[in-house]
Amino acid sequence: MNKNESFIDQIITNMSEKSNRNGTIAKRIEAADHETVANRIAIVWDDLGRERRVAKTESVRNGQKMRELTEKPEHMLSLIQQTMNNCCWSARTVINAGKSQDLANGLDFSQSIAEQAGNIASSRIVDVESTLMNDFSVLNELHSWLCSQMNYMADLDPLFLYAEKQEIEEGVWEHTHMCMDINDVLPILDEKIIELAEQGDTNITKFASTHVFGARQDAQQGAKQEAMPKEAGSRQDAKPSKKAARKVA
């Protein structure tokens, strides 16, 4: 029997700490009044739709252009896919923690990692995979329902266990990954970890070799020194001495 519950709640909490659009929506999901996270997502989708309808009505009544809404109901579909992607990342973290337990002294640190990833009681691969697929089942039903409610949109993507898109030309995006099996997802995430590490190393090397350390401090000191005589001169120009004033007279 699977001991685990879900990654989704913790994922939404983590997303709510971001300052991007998904972070703003995730904050609303966190604040929604329902015990189940999938229902909170659906509630926020409904709220966003209602807010847009109200904005349209107000614009017609006032004869003005409708105010811009930065978060829209359609954004929920990409948020759900991002949530599912992040669930995969969390699953990878828990699985790797279970593999790297310290067998030499009998200590198992995977439990704390699992708790950080969510309400996860077991780091066994079979349990983590079961939890991940349960999360997918919940989000897939939600995603499908939202798609049915927004059937005015064309070419809606299904929900994948893990999916990524890349912009091949301006405004044109194509899938680079569309995975439905955790065994296909994990190698992709491993490659991404390597890519991010290499990018980080490159940025550090570039900074170490090109940055002029102390330049900012020297510039600030120079600016202060330049400002001091200017201030003194301006005061003298603004207030001539009484002796000079008499000569002019």
Mean pLDDT of 112-125: 70
Which region among 19-23, 60-64, 199-203 has the lowest average model confidence (pLDDT)?
A: 199-203
pLDDT tens profile 155-196: 899 999 999 998 888 878 889 999 999 999 999 999 999 988
Mean pLDDT of 96-102: 68
56 contact partners, CB below 8 Å, separation of at least 6 = 66
145 contact partners, CB below 8 Å, separation of at least 6 = 42
Q: Give the per-residue pLDDT at 196.
A: 84
Burial of 78 (0-12, 13-18, 19+ CB in 10 A): middle
* DSSP-H helix ranges across the chain: 8-15, 21-31, 37-62, 75-99, 110-117, 125-149, 182-210, 215-238, 242-248
Q: Give the per-residue pLDDT at 118.
A: 66
* Percent of the chain predicted with pLDDT > 90: 53
Determine contact, residues 189/88, Cβ cutoff 8 Å.
yes
| Predicted structure pTM score | 0.75
Provide the token pair at 37: 């996270």
Torsion of CA 87, 89, 92, 93, to 10 degrees: -100
Give the model's confidence band at 24: pLDDT under 50 very low, under 70 low, under 90 confident, else very high.
Answer: very high
* Percent of the chain predicted with pLDDT > 70: 77
Mean pLDDT of 38-57: 96
CA distance 157 to 160: 9
Q: Give the per-residue pLDDT at 248.
A: 46
Q: Is the pLDDT confidence value at 204 over 90?
A: no
Q: Is the dihedral of CA 132, 137, 138, 139 positive or negative?
A: positive
Tell me the CA distances in angstroms from 77 to 143, 148, 215, one per residue in order.
7, 12, 47
Determine contact, residues 188/199, Cβ cutoff 8 Å.
no
pLDDT tens profile 219-248: 666 666 666 655 545 445 555 555 444 444
